[in-house]
Amino acid sequence: MLIVQKYGGTSVGSLERIEAVAKRVAKTKDEGNDVVVVVSAMSGETNKLIEYANYFSKTPNQREMDLLLSSGERVTSALLAIALSEMGYKAVAMTGRQAGIKTDTSHTKARIENIDTQKIERKIKDGNIVVIAGFQGITKDGEVSTLGRGGSDLSAVAIAGALRADLCEIYTDVDGVYTTDPRIEPKARKLEKISYDEMLELASLGAKVLQTRSVEMAKKLNVNLVTRSSFNNNEGTLITKEENIMEKPVVSGVALDRNQARVTLREVKDKPGIAAEIFRKLSDSNINVDMIIQNVGHDGVTNLGFTVPENELETTKVAMEELDASKSVEYDSEIVKVSIVGVGMKSHSGVACIAFETLSKEGINIEMISTSEIKISMVIAAKYGELAVRALHSAYNLDG
């Protein structure tokens, strides 16, 4: 078999951990498989690099950020290859560029356009374990790019897809995908299987166990994706097609997204073209707007509220100042988004009601709501985030 294994930050968080990973990789190779490994930076490393940059600037140059951030993964990939060689295995480390990972030019959240796998394939053929630095690629202009936070998951899935690997294993610090973040709710249960669509929603709503775009890519390329722990040998969670899952609970999981901030524009002119102008500006600044609420207009003006990722708030402020679209602008980063997800919702009514009642019983005010076929999201005050997750987890009978 050809197996792609990705090891996240905590899995390579120290030299001892890298040694443990080397042993796991070696064992997979010994069992007769070809192995391609994708690694993250040591845990905390990427955050530290961002802090370094923020010491000088709140809105640092994105090109330079990519050069800076890609360095963390370079370190771990080289160290793992060195460790494997020392154990007597043929191993070669590669950066994103060396691995042929071509991306578009949107620095710090680049999209993979294609992967030229020739070099990887040649190295595998020569008997090497190929170790690739995750989270990074190269633009058509030869600039280093990174794939957004948690992007090593995407590197692994994209490489697995391009190589038509038999399996892509994402090794992390939890046994698999749980009904909610087990750090918030110890009663969370591990799911044996979850559909691509549900995982996609959970990930995009804050369950960082898998990066959103990696799930999107896995679905598109039909990658056999498994998440499991690098700290034990427990069975993980299989992310697969909906038809491969027999039992479909109404609600499969609860997610919490802390990386949220709200922008409120007061007294925006209530006339055609204003919303277009505002959201065009945000889109040109590469900001991902999520929930949008426009109040009923009054006296030719209205209020407009929307949410953006908290780490894009500074860029949002710059964009709003340039636009000058309203009388005043308020920013609030003391909010979070809590969501419930389940394919079973499609065929059940009254699911949303339970969520609203549950939060009301806890005295939590819902400030914004959005729904889709398989999810319900609510914006609430940040201080209630974990309480809301636990209450919803219990209300939908997910407690183990």
Residue 386 found at the interface with ligand ADP (CB under 6 A): no
For residue 8, state whether it binds ligand ADP (rule: CB under 6 A): yes
What binding mask, one character per residue, do residues 134-153 give for ligand ASP by CB under 6 A, x or -? xx-------------xxxxx
State the Cα–Cα distance between residues 228 and 44, nearest whole angstrom: 21
* Beta strand 237-240 pairing with 261-269: unpaired
- Which residue in the set 13, 100, 150, 342 belongs to the binding site for Mg ion (CB under 5 A)? 150
Instruction: Examine residue 40 and tell whether it contacts ligand ASP (CB under 6 A).
Output: yes
Pick 112 or 291: Cβ nearer Mg ion: 112
> Can you name the residues that pair with 254 across neighbouring β-strands?
340
Supply the minimum distance, in Å, between the C-beta of residue 27 and Mg ion: 23
| Interface mask toward ligand ADP for 196-225; x: CB under 6 A | ------x----xxx----------------
Binding to ligand ADP (CB under 6 A): which residues in 158-197?
Answer: 172-174, 177-178, 180-183
Side chain identity, residue 136: Q
Angle, vertex CA 148, rays to CA 142 and CA 149, nearest 5: 135
Q: Which of 272, 278, 262, 268 is nearest to 303 (CA)?
A: 268
Stretch that binds ligand ASP, among 29-37, 38-46, 85-93, 312-320 (CB under 6 A): 38-46
- In the complex with ligand ASP, the residue whose CB is nearer, 145 or 358, is 145
Among positions 162-201, residues that touch ligand ASP (CB under 6 A) are none
Burial of 267 (0-12, 13-18, 19+ CB in 10 A): middle
Give yes or no for a contact between 210 and 153, defined as CB atoms under 8 angstroms apart: yes
Which DSSP state fits 40? -
Nearer to ligand ASP, 41 or 374 (CB): 41
Cα separation, 339 vs 354, in Å, equals: 13
Give min distance, CB of 300 to ligand ADP, in A.
45
- How many Å apart are CA 48 and CA 97, to the nearest integer? 23
Burial zone of 220 (CB within 10 Å; 0-12 exposed, 13-18 middle, 19+ buried): exposed
Q: Which among ligand ASP, ligand ADP, Mg ion, none contacts residue 134 (Cβ within 5 to 8 A by kind)?
A: ligand ASP
Q: How many residues bind Mg ion (CB under 5 A)?
A: 2
Note the residues at the interface with ligand ASP (CB under 6 A): 8-9, 40-41, 46, 72, 134-135, 149-153
